[in-house]
Structure 1
Amino acid sequence: MSRIAFIYPGQGAQKCGMGQDFYENSASARAVYDMAAEALRDEMDIDVRDLCFHENDKLDLTEYTQAALVTTCLAMTRPLVEAGVRPDVTAGLSLGEYCAIAAAGGMKEEDAVRLVRKRGLLMQNTVPAGEGAMCAVMGMTGGEIENVIRDVEGVSVANYNCPGQIVITGAAGAVEAASEKLKEAGAKRTVMLNVSGPFHSPMLKKAGEELAQVLEGVELSPLAVPYVTNVTAQQVTDIGQTKALLAEQVSSSVRWQQSMENLIAEGVDTFVEIGPGRTLAGFMRKISRDVTVYNVGAWADVEKVAQALK
């Protein structure tokens, strides 16, 4: 019997038109978009359905991206569950952790959408544009990178994505200096990322503290299944830990590779990536070839995955 994990992508997976085929074909998916549009009506100057389905200049801005992507991933989850596919555990990369908590039964979909809208604003506005940066490092292990950047003040690891792909974050000048040091130390390649801030760095600690205040007003529910937190890469079974972990997650490293390795070690052999793109499937190819990964990013995928897993 397969042990199934639903996994959700983070920022960067978004694309114009995402989820429109779900909206058109599934009443339950449509209900998620309609709910999100109503929940965010007074908080955004664009309808979330237009944000996701039609060309616009806002989808790639953090303050809009997060709400759009979480809405889409949750809308894609509903018909899959209705088709009989249910997870034994869930996980999400950075922003995707909110989808994972909602899919695990710990958070209302409406609260997840509202929270990530606030999270996006806090993350975008805490550090002025240009002061922070992020850089992808290829061809080095996390330990090797940690050793090199230890002497560069203001730089830390943002994402442990998979073997050979780590992202560093921090003050712009320091990240550029660290990038050069990493190339000298043997990195195959370093790529400065086109992002609006130093995400998952201590520079965003204030954003996490402000998010904690917002989280105080959100009611969570006991988890139906565990989810994995990015902060420790461990399964969470006690919803009482969730608010503190979400606040800390904003400024701490995303331990995705470790999260997936831990799930595999605990017997999870089937992963269903829910959301646009195949980023997480790509990471998994480098983490382990011994597991099966399915993608649900288009309406036709629901029936294929349901037939394979029922």
Structure 2
Amino acid sequence: MKAFVFPGQGAQFVGMGKDLYENNPVAKEMFDKANEILGFNITELMFNGTDEDLRQTKVTQPAIFLHSVILAKTMGADFAPDMVAGHSLGEFSALVAAGALSFEDGLRLVSARAQAMQKACEKTPSTMAAVLALPDETVEQICSSVTEGVVVPANYNCPGQIVISGSIEGIDAACEKLLAAGAKRALKLKVGGAFHSPIMEPARTELADAIHHTQFFAPECPVYQNVDAKPQTDPEIIKQNLIAQLTAPVRWTQSVQNMIADGADAFTEVGPGAVLQGLVKKINKDVVTNGIQ
């Protein structure tokens, strides 16, 4: 069975989507429509901008979404998933690709999400850190033992790789304890703020309003969502999980394990980069992985 997976923030690169735009009329039409919906020329930033331009959350998230979704939409009969999943932002790409959301509504929600997250980041200085070579349970215990500020597990990426998220003081205190407990690394990331943590609560509230006013459909195949790592097809549950996602951890390890348990033996990453292919291989080396970008 084939699983198609969609990357999240951090996969962007200058020039992303340019070949598609220049060589595929359907892609060109979708990119031009995106410029219209967003009210700024995102294609110019994607194709000819700087790394700095692409690192702005309000640009990064729609850019990765557009690259991923337009790729899926131009694959024709080759896009035939038995199941889909996306990492954080990539969940929106997965939902549009699977028919649970229209392209236009998906882009509007991603833009609203990015702006809401940007505001939450500016309101509370915060960060994230990658933790390597410790069991999940140890990381969870240490995060819950920290009394300075806020710190929680944010991304369960693969066995031995968790990203934690929280206030500056919370992350600093946790990193010290994690290294003392034997982590190979506990390294702060260059991100705008504490994604997938309680610090994103103002963004969650804002996004909830936008999601409640958007029409969702039953997807053409199950979508394994970040919040519970389970296959979902009910539009109402999908909406609730999307809202919860902003302040809850991304259960990527569990999602991939569940997809494999349900029969997935080939994973195709659709969108920029190859991060998810690497994570899938670390979760289960026996599955086939490839990418389309």
Whether TM-score is above 0.5 comes out as yes
Task: Count matched residues.
Answer: 290
Is 1:108 paired with 2:102? yes
Tell me the residue number matched to 1:29.
27
Is 1:152 paired with 2:146? yes
1:12-31 Cα shifts (integer Å, max 9, x gaps): 00010011111112222222
Q: Within 1, Cα distance between the matches of 2:48 and 2:77?
A: 28
Give 1:34's aligned amino acid.
D
Tell me the residue number matched to 1:205.
201
* Residues 106 and 221 in structure 1, CA contact (< 8 A), matched pair in contact too: yes
Tell me the residue number matched to 1:300.
none
Q: Which of 209, 233, 236 is residue 237 of structure 1 equivalent to?
A: 233
Tell me the residue number matched to 2:180.
184
Is 1:79 paired with 2:74? yes
Give 1:294's aligned amino acid.
N
Tell me the residue number matched to 1:287.
283
SS in 1 for 2:267: strand
TM-score with structure 2 length normalisation? 0.96
1:262-298 Cα shifts (integer Å, max 9, x gaps): 000111111110111100011112101111111001x
Displacement of 1:84 in angstroms is 3.0
Correspondences of 1:1-310 after superposition (within 5 Å): 3-41=1-39, 46-56=40-50, 57-80=52-75, 82-128=76-122, 131-153=125-147, 154-297=150-293
Displacement of 1:126 in angstroms is 1.3
Q: Which runs of 5+ in 2 are unaligned?
A: none
* Residues 30 and 75 in structure 1, CA contact (< 8 A), matched pair in contact too: no
Q: Within 2, Cα distance between the matches of 1:224 and 1:207?
A: 29
- My pick for the range that moved more, 127-136 or 217-226, is 127-136
RMSD: 1.2
Q: Within 2, Cα distance between the matches of 1:31 and 1:267?
A: 36
- My pick for the range that moved more, 249-258 or 213-222, is 213-222
Q: Which runs of 5+ in 1 are unaligned?
A: 298-310
Give 2:21's aligned amino acid.
Y
Give 1:36's aligned amino acid.
A
Moved over 6 A (4+): none
Give 1:73's aligned amino acid.
S
* Residues 278 and 295 in structure 1, CA contact (< 8 A), matched pair in contact too: yes
Q: Within 2, Cα distance between the matches of 1:94 and 1:27?
A: 29
Q: Within 2, Cα distance between the matches of 1:132 and 1:85?
A: 38
TM-score with structure 1 length normalisation? 0.91
